[in-house]
């Protein structure tokens, strides 16, 4: 703005000043505007130190308001010759209008000066080496020179000095210099003119620069700005903005619009979308759309566009959504959709399923200390290999549930991989594993660890390995207190509530240990100790694993550990080389499941030779496959090794081929007996030749050693025809055969069973799984058991001996209804005289097992003895050659790669999926002995004598005797016997009254007592003893 006091000459100076302004503007650099702030206080605008008393001071008011100088307390002070104290103080009077100047002059100055003066003073004034101060009250607001310092003659040089010159304040200066103590250089803020130049006195031109951007926040050139940052624009003065007065353009996210607040000198731009990490952005202020607001001169726009460059924070510095926020504290992801998160790679399982599980796990480096939320997550990358363990990575993906595991996918699809470009390495890190202890309180408790690095510090038992060969999976479990492994509930407790409670308890104490691979039947299987499984690095069920470290994930309906390192493995359950002791019994009876031993090979579906098995040769064959050339030999060799190892005199077998014209036992080339005899010697074993039994594809059978026992009579079968309760379309017919021990003549009957399985469908007979722990077909099995007991009560083989041994796969655990029915005997009442005894429970106790299913052990393979046989049984053992062995070691080659096939050995281990049972018997073949007392009656006095029969037995403490008849060689009332009748009176089976008399003419009387004596073990004898009445006593 410009003030013209009165003289017309000053109008011309104003016009000239316009030209100067234009020149000044043209010299400003493009895009950079001078930061001009409107004056807020008076300041010196002209200084005249001319010849003689031509001295004056001009004071400018640009504050926007008139000022009463006296009221406001303004004064001018002069400090002479370097003094620190003012030598002259002139208090100012009058008023100075806004935009006007106030001239203080020496009263003896030139008339031209005095013409412009507003106040004069005649005291001695300043020279070039004296400091001059404009004060407001006690505050200095502008200083010419330096107080307390004498420069000698002047400050400055040449025309721009304080002696004998005129100084005019530069038009760009809008405030005084209040610091009188610093060095003074007039050239900085003043323009100099020759001595006695007065033409500018009385007016002051203040250059009103066009508006400009004085600063931005973030500043021009700022780096690492937040992705959601606002931009503040500070103008040099109040401005009006219009139209598209700014643009924001970024290298990755493109153009941004923004919401504008503030003004008129400070504006805030809030971009409507966030920036993206690691991009460069340019802010442009459009000059033509920004003008100042003052009205004292024409509206001014910015000279040129203003630009500022900004760069956002890098990917690794940008905010992200923590993993625990994505996971939440529920069973599914709390946040779904596109997210960016960050974590340490705690499990790298990238690559195809042959080398990994197509992704990796990351875990938040610090976590949220909330035990209910997981700090880890799975990142699905398909077959790519992007990261390595220990890296700190930033991942952008789509958060969702993938097969019920919280996962980052590339998009909302199970098969969509996170691209490598969305995974940024941000350094390294480490996360300590979190200890997970069992039992958990509830199954869902493991969700809080999903995706996290964990450690299992307890010694856990290897409980299940069914999927080990296919998928590398092992079930680890913490046994219930006092137990060595998890047991099938109904093997320990009754069905129903107790069984259900135990099943729940078992489920809370187990976890699956996986192998970090997604493929089937890998070439190398991972041992829990971190090495490769091999014949010299095996494991068995019941061994322990401690301190497993890995990532806890979820897949295929199970929580599982994907291991990241070795665990401590202990071989706690070594292989038994032979069956356990049966206490030196003289006879060994065994039972074994053959795992579907078929001579007819199983052909693929669609092959004309398929479905040629069974009695009608119309059902699927089992066992060895036709397209696996080694399977039959491998199966047979293992089975024969196991049977040889049993060294049993009689063996009941399950799951034998039941095809017309095929005899898996007696076939001279490939049969079991031929194989055993080839190893043990001709004639070592023979078989009961039953032919086809029932309608199923499999049947039961028996082999025996002819050197030890002989079959007695024909075998008998329990079928539906015998008892409708026994459904032989579900259960395999029962085979009973009586044997006689050659060395003793003792007889007993072996009864081989194979009842309907728990996994079968019995809905057609209204017998589904009721949920009580006994599985499908329980009623079918129970009715079969009751029919069996009633049938055995009839002595179906006609053995005449009460010794029965029930063996085989009853598909029922010890506490289930069918076993209770067998134990109850024919009267269906436990605790009575016909009860059968569970020999496995008697000799092995509660925790016996022969089979593992779903990580729980129990026994389906039984040995139950009739009352008469119990005392003759000396022991019963399960030979643990199968249930504890992974099926990786069995004969099957269907899915195994060559490296797995190479682990096969022709030994007994994993010859079946059931362990064999061995019972030791010492059968008693000696009948009781009977004696009579007295055996001589004397004197012959015609009186009754009480005669007693005494029965004893070598094993039975309570043998029985039955008097069949008592006869005499003399008539009851013969000649010469005293004429007394009724000589024989049978009181009971051990007491007789005989009359002591005989014929007077004979050789003596002989009473003959015929009896039948029997013991509890089926031994009986019919014989006679005699009592005599002699003719005389040696006279």
pLDDT in tens, 885-905: 999 999 999 999 999 999 999
pLDDT in tens, 753-773: 999 999 999 999 999 999 999
- State mean pLDDT over 329-344: 97
Rounded to whole angstroms, how far apart are CA atoms 573 and 668?
38
Lowest average pLDDT, out of 21-25, 160-164, 269-273, goes to: 21-25
805-811-814 Cα angle (round to 5): 70
Backbone dihedral angles phi then psi of residue 91, each to the nearest 5 degrees: -80, 130
> Contact at 8 Å (CB) between 129 and 153?
yes
**Model confidence at 17: pLDDT above 50:** no
Spatial CA neighbour of 298 closest among 237, 210, 203: 210
Is the domain covering 708-872 a CATH 3.60.70.12 domain? no
pLDDT in tens, 769-822: 999 999 999 999 999 999 999 999 999 999 999 999 999 999 999 999 999 999
- State mean pLDDT over 343-367: 97
pLDDT at 2: 36
For residue 403, how many C-alpha atoms fall within 13 Å in the half-sphere facing its CB?
A: 11
Residue recorded with tokens 């008097």: 963
- Which of the four CATH numbers 2.60.40, 3.20.20, 2.70.50, 1.25.40 does domain 929-1030 have? 2.60.40
For residue 849, how many C-alpha atoms fall within 13 Å in the half-sphere facing its CB?
A: 26
Residue 205 pLDDT level (bands cut at 50, 70, 90): confident
> Contact at 8 Å (CB) between 993 and 945?
yes
**Model confidence at 297: pLDDT above 80:** no
- State mean pLDDT over 338-351: 98
- State mean pLDDT over 466-486: 97
For residue 674, give both structure tokens: 């031929």
Rounded to whole angstroms, how far apart are CA atoms 1020 and 1012?
7
pLDDT at 171: 87
> Span 9-193: which CATH code?
2.60.40.1260
pLDDT at 978: 62
Consecutive H or E run containing 641: helix 631-646
Spatial CA neighbour of 38 closest among 207, 232, 250, 184: 207
**Model confidence at 12: pLDDT above 60:** no
pLDDT at 1035: 42
> Span 213-315: which CATH code?
2.60.40.3780
% residues pLDDT > 90 (the chain): 89
pLDDT at 38: 64
Angle between helices 778-792 and 817-824 (to 10 degrees): 10
- State mean pLDDT over 506-514: 98
- State mean pLDDT over 638-665: 99
pLDDT at 206: 75
Spatial CA neighbour of 653 closest among 595, 688, 702, 689: 702
pLDDT in tens, 150-193: 999 999 999 999 999 999 999 889 899 999 999 999 999 999 99
pTM of the model: 0.77
Q: Which residues of 318-402 form beta strands (DSSP E)? A: 337-349, 359-363, 376-380, 391-402
pLDDT at 7: 33
pLDDT at 10: 33
**Model confidence at 88: pLDDT above 90:** yes
Is the domain covering 320-431 a CATH 1.20.1510 domain? no
- Per DSSP, the residues of 546-598 read E-EEEEEEEETTEEEEEESS--EEE--SPPPSSPPP-TT-SEEEEEEEEEEE-
pLDDT at 976: 60
Encode 135-182 in three state secondary structure: EECCEEEEEECCCCCCCCCCCEECCEECCCEEEEECCCCCCCCCCCCC
pLDDT at 644: 99
pLDDT at 762: 97
* Cα first-last separation, the chain: 181
pLDDT in tens, 994-1012: 999 998 888 899 999 999 9
Rounded to whole angstroms, how far apart are CA atoms 891 and 93?
121
For residue 263, give both structure tokens: 């003004």
**Model confidence at 1020: pLDDT above 70:** yes
pLDDT at 295: 64
Residue 598 pLDDT level (bands cut at 50, 70, 90): very high
pLDDT in tens, 713-743: 999 999 999 999 999 999 999 999 999 999 9
Domains 9-193 and 213-315 in one fold: yes
- CB pairs under 8 A, 24+ apart, for 526-530? 526/472, 526/563, 527/569, 528/462, 528/474, 528/563, 528/566, 528/567, 528/569, 529/566, 529/567, 529/568, 529/569, 530/563, 530/565, 530/566, 530/567
**Model confidence at 241: pLDDT above 80:** yes
Give the domain ranges of the chain: 9-193, 213-315, 320-431, 443-570, 708-872, 929-1030
């Amino acid at each position: 703005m410009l003030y013209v006091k009165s003289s017309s000459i000053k109008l011309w100076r104003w016009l000239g000043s316009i030209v100067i302004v234009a020149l000044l503007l043209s010299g400003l650099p493009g895009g950079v505007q001078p930061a001009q702030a409107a004056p807020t206080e008076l300041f010196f605008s002209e200084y005249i130190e001319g010849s003689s008393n031509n001295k004056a001071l001009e004071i400018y008011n640009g504050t926007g308001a008139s000022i009463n100088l006296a009221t406001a307390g303004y004064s001018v002070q002069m400090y002479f010759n370097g003094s620190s104290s003012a030598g002259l103080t002139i208090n100012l009077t009058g008023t100075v209008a806004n935009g006007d100047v106030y001239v203080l002059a020496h009263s003896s100055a030139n008339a031209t000066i005095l013409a412009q003066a507003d106040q004069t003073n005649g005291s001695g004034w300043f020279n070039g080496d004296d400091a001059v101060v404009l004060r407001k009250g006690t505050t200095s607001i502008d200083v010419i020179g330096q107080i307390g310092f004498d420069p000698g003659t002047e400050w400055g040089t040449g025309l721009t000095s304080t002696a004998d010159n005129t100084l005019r304040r530069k038009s760009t200066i809008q405030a005084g210099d209040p610091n009188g103590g610093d060095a003074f250089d007039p050239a900085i803020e003043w323009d100099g003119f020759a001595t006695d130049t007065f033409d500018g006195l009385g007016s002051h031109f203040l250059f009103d620069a066009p508006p400009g951007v004085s600063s931005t926040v973030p500043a021009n050139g700022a780096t690492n700005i937040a992705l959601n940052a606002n931009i503040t624009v500070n103008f040099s003065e109040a401005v009006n903005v219009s139209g598209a007065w700014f643009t924001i353009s970024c290298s990755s996210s493109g153009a941004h619009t923004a919401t504008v607040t503030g003004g008129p000198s400070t504006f805030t731009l809030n971009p409507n979308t966030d920036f993206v990490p690691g991009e460069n952005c340019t802010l442009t202020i459009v000059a033509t759309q920004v003008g100042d607001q003052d009205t004292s001169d024409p509206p001014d726009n910015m000279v040129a566009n203003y630009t500022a460059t900004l760069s956002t924070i890098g990917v690794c510095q940008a905010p992200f959504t923590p993993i625990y926020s994505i996971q939440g504290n529920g069973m599914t992801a709390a946040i779904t959709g596109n997210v960016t998160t960050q974590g340490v790679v705690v499990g790298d399982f990238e690559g195809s399923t042959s080398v990994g599980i197509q992704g990796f796990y990351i875990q938040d480096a610090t976590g949220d200390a909330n035990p209910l939320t997981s700090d880890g997550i799975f990142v699905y990358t398909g077959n790519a290999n992007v990261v390595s363990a220990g890296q700190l990575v930033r991942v952008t993906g789509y958060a969702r549930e993938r097969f019920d595991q919280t996962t980052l996918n590339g998009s909302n699809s199970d098969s969509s991989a996170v691209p490598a470009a969305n995974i940024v390495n941000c350094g390294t890190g480490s996360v300590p594993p979190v200890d997970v202890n069992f039992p958990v309180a509830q199954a869902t408790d493991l969700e809080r660890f999903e995706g996290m690095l964990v450690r299992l510090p307890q010694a856990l038992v290897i409980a299940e390995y069914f999927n080990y060969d296919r998928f590398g999976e092992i079930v680890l479990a913490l046994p219930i207190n006092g137990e060595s492994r998890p047991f099938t509930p109904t093997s320990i407790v009754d069905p129903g509530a107790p069984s259900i409670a135990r099943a729940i308890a078992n489920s809370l104490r187990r976890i699956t240990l996986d192998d970090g691979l997604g493929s089937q039947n890998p070439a190398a299987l991972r041992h829990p100790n971190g090495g490769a499984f091999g014949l010299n690095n095996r494991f068995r069920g019941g061994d322990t694993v401690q301190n497993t470290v890995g990532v806890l994930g979820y897949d295929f309906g199970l929580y599982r550990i994907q291991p990241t390192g070795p665990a401590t493995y202990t071989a706690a359950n070594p292989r038994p080389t032979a069956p356990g002791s049966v206490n030196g019994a003289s006879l060994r009876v065994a039972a074994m499941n053959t795992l579907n031993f078929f001579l007819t090979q199983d052909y693929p579906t669609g092959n004309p030779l398929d479905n040629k098995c069974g009695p009608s040769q119309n059902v699927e064959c089992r066992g060895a496959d036709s397209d696996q050339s080694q399977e039959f030999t491998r199966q047979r060799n293992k089975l024969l090794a196991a049977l040889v190892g049993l060294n049993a005199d009689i063996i009941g077998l399950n799951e034998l081929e039941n095809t017309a014209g095929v005899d898996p036992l007696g076939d001279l080339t490939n049969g079991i007996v031929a194989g055993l005899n080839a190893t043990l010697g001709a004639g070592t074993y023979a078989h009961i030749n039953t032919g086809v039994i029932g309608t199923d594809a499999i049947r039961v059978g028996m082999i025996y050693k002819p050197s030890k026992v002989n079959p007695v009579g024909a075998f008998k079968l329990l079928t539906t025809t015998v008892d409708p309760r026994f459904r032989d379309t579900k259960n395999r017919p029962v085979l009973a055969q009586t044997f006689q021990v050659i060395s003793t003549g003792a007889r007993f009957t072996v009864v081989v069973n194979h009842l309907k399985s728990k996994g079968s469908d019995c809905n057609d007979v209204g017998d589904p799984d009721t949920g009580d722990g006994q599985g499908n077909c329980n009623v079918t099995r129970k009715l079969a058991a009751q029919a069996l007991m009633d049938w055995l009560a009839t002595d179906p083989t006609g053995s005449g001996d009460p010794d029965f041994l029930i063996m085989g796969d009853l598909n029922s655990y010890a506490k289930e209804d069918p076993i209770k029915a067998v134990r109850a005997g024919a009267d269906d009442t436990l605790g009575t005289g016909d009860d059968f005894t569970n020999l496995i429970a008697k000799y092995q106790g509660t925790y016996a097992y022969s089979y593992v299913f779903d990580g729980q052990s129990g026994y389906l393979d039984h040995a139950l003895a009739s009352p008469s046989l119990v005392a003759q049984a000396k022991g019963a053992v399960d030979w643990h050659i199968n249930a504890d062995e992974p099926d990786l070691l069995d004969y099957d080659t269907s899915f195994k790669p060559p490296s797995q096939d190479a682990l096969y050995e022709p030994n007994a281990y994993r010859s079946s999926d059931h362990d064999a049972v061995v019972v030791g018997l010492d059968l008693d073949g000696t009948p009781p002995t009977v004696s009579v007392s007295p055996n001589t009656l004397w004197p012959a006095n015609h009186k009754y004598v009480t005669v007693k029969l005494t029965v004893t037995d070598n094993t039975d403490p309570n043998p029985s005797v039955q008097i069949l008849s008592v006869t005499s060689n003399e008539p009851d009332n013969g000649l010469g016997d005293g004429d007394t009748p009724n000589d024989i009176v049978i009181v009971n089976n051990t007491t007789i009254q005989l009359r002591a008399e005989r014929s007077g003419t004979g050789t003596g009387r002989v009473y003959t007592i015929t009896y039948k004596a029997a013991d509890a073990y089926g031994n009986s004898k019919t014989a006679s003893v005699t009592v005599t009445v002699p003719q005389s006593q040696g006279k």
